[in-house]
Amino acid sequence: MSTISSSCPPSPSSPSGPSRTVVVGQGYVGLPLALRAVDVGHDVVGVDLDQRRVAALAAGTSFVGDVSDARLRRALDTGRYRPTADYADAREFDVAVITVPTPLRDSLPDLRYVESAARSLARLLRRGATVILESTTSPGTTAEVLVPLLEAGSGLRAGVDFSVGYSPERIDPGNADWTFETTPKLVSGIDAASLRRVSSFYEQLVEQVVPVSGTREAELAKLLENTFRHVNIALVNELAVAARELGIDAHEAIDAASTKPFGFMKFTPGPGVGGHCLPVDPTYLSWEVRRKTGRPFRFVELANEINEGMPAQVVERAEALLNDFSRAVRGAKILLVGLAYKPDSADARESPALRVAELLRTKGAHVLAVDPYVDDRDWPVGVERVDSARAAAECDLAVVLTPHSTVDLAPLAGLPVLDTRGVMPAQQAVRL
């Protein structure tokens, strides 16, 4: 990697005005960002290598719950939003934002999508442009992975010919209060000039920009946000298991503790963690600490062990509840209420409910599920789809995994119910 300079690269367009913007990845993170950029006047190319996704977007069909078809069509009608699977359509960009997935592969961070995006953008990079990474990753990725790939593929020098920054995504699917626009946005750059350009870009899109001194600090801040949640969820999950064995209502104890107006933040037990962050991001931090220091990050590794074990704990409790009614899990009809990883969201990525369904099917149960949000393409194989919780009347057991506000739980009353979220009255269900 070349030495990074703090000189300001020439600008093909004003950083504080409309520009030709490329957003790589048109999923839960990239699509809202792309459409917001259109709203403020940018010409936006949304690059995604999934041809079916691109075709759907071009036809005005959104698959992201936070983006309505109507909003997508308005963006298309402006002529300033173009979804494409061809990087050639991104030529002469002023700003490129990378919002591709950073999953785990064999329990290790997988940066293939970031690296592929960097190589593709490098061939199009011109002097004065800015490249921003939003994908969650381990500290050092922007400077140690992204910058060298951009330089090698373009022949230009970061910090001299073009700017580079990191601004972690903070998308919370289904959250109507904290949207892309209203959530404070961390911004960073590889040098002072890059930070100014990254800040100028996001100041047009969001209400509040929070500058961070360096890309490593911004990368670590993102991992800290989700590791904090991951560890605290693991704490209450283990507490719930221990409290049950002690004959104590963990939910009542947590509610009581949450009345303290300082020094406590409420987290509640559940069937595990899911989504695009919690099952992945803390592992990035743990991996980086072990790789760079040779020491384990014990809190993260313990939290992983506890939260990854919760689906099995749910199945064990379900078996015990069936036994109380003289039923075996093999051959039993079990209704799962909610498959998404969080309420009122269609996002089933890494959802613990999917693991619960898999384990129950492995044990010979006939598994049904109700979830009006999860699309058919994300529906687990071998799980029968039903329209409402009324299907529980024909089942031996219902398990509440994700309590969507649009799913009426009243039909579950009087039936054996395992409530993994503590949303039903204690007298109507057995809590996790």
Give dist(CA 202, CA 363) in Å, integer.
50
Residue 54 domain flag: yes
pLDDT score at 282: 79
Residue 75 domain flag: yes
Please compute, for residue 214, the number of CA atoms within 13 A of its CA located in the half-sphere on the CB side.
8
Residues 227 and 180 in one domain: no
pLDDT block averages, 10 residues each, the chain of length 432: 42 61 96 97 97 96 91 97 97 97 80 97 97 94 97 98 97 86 97 98 97 97 92 95 94 96 95 76 80 87 92 96 96 97 89 96 97 92 94 94 95 93 91 90
pLDDT score at 337: 97
β partners of residue 335: 368, 398
β partners of residue 162: 158
Last residue of a domain, one of 213, 238, 257: 213
Residues 226 and 203 in one domain: no
Residues in Cβ contact with 175 at an 8 Å cutoff, skipping those fewer than 6 apart = none
Kind of pairing between the strands at 95-98 and 81-84: unpaired
Residue 380 domain flag: no
Residue 193 domain flag: yes
Last residue of a domain, one of 291, 308, 325: 308
Give dist(CA 168, CA 199) in Å, integer.
13
Residue 289, token pair as written in the block: 């600490």
* For helices 281-293 and 298-308, angle between their N-to-C axes, nearest 10 degrees: 140
Residues 57 and 162 in one domain: yes
Residue 360 domain flag: no
pLDDT score at 18: 62
Residue 313 domain flag: no
Catalytic (active-site) positions: 277
Residues 141 and 250 in one domain: no
Write the DSSP symbol of residue 8: P
Residue 399 domain flag: no
What is the CB neighbour count within 10 angstroms for residue 3? 8
Residues 256 and 181 in one domain: no
Give dist(CA 187, CA 169) in Å, integer.
10
Residues 160 and 82 in one domain: yes
pTM over 0.85: yes
Residue 411 domain flag: no
- pLDDT tens digits for range 8-39: 454 455 455 668 999 999 999 999 999 999 99
Phi and psi torsions of 164, nearest 5°: -140, 140
In 3D, which of 260, 256, 250 has the Cα closest to residue 426? 250
pLDDT score at 16: 57
Residues in Cβ contact with 393 at an 8 Å cutoff, skipping those fewer than 6 apart = 411, 415
Residues in Cβ contact with 188 at an 8 Å cutoff, skipping those fewer than 6 apart = 142, 165, 166, 167, 195, 198, 211, 212, 213, 214, 215, 217, 218
Q: What 3-state class would DSSP assign to 254?
A: helix
Structural domains in the chain (count): 2
Q: In what order do the strands lie in the sheet with 20-24?
A: 81-84, 43-47, 20-24, 95-98, 130-133, 163-166, 185-189, 209-211
Please compute, for residue 312, the number of CA atoms within 13 A of its CA located in the half-sphere on the CB side.
5
pLDDT score at 192: 98
pLDDT score at 349: 86
Q: Output the domain CATH number for residue 235.
A: 3.40.50.720
In 3D, which of 200, 201, 130 has the Cα closest to residue 165? 130
Strand residue runs (E) in 198-296 = 209-211
- pLDDT tens digits for range 52-64: 999 999 999 998 8
Last residue of a domain, one of 213, 239, 272: 213
What kind and span of H or E run contains 96?
A: strand 95-98
Domain that holds residue 169: 20-213
pLDDT score at 75: 97
Q: How many residues does the chain have?
A: 432
In 3D, which of 362, 365, 349, 348 has the Cα closest to residue 399? 365
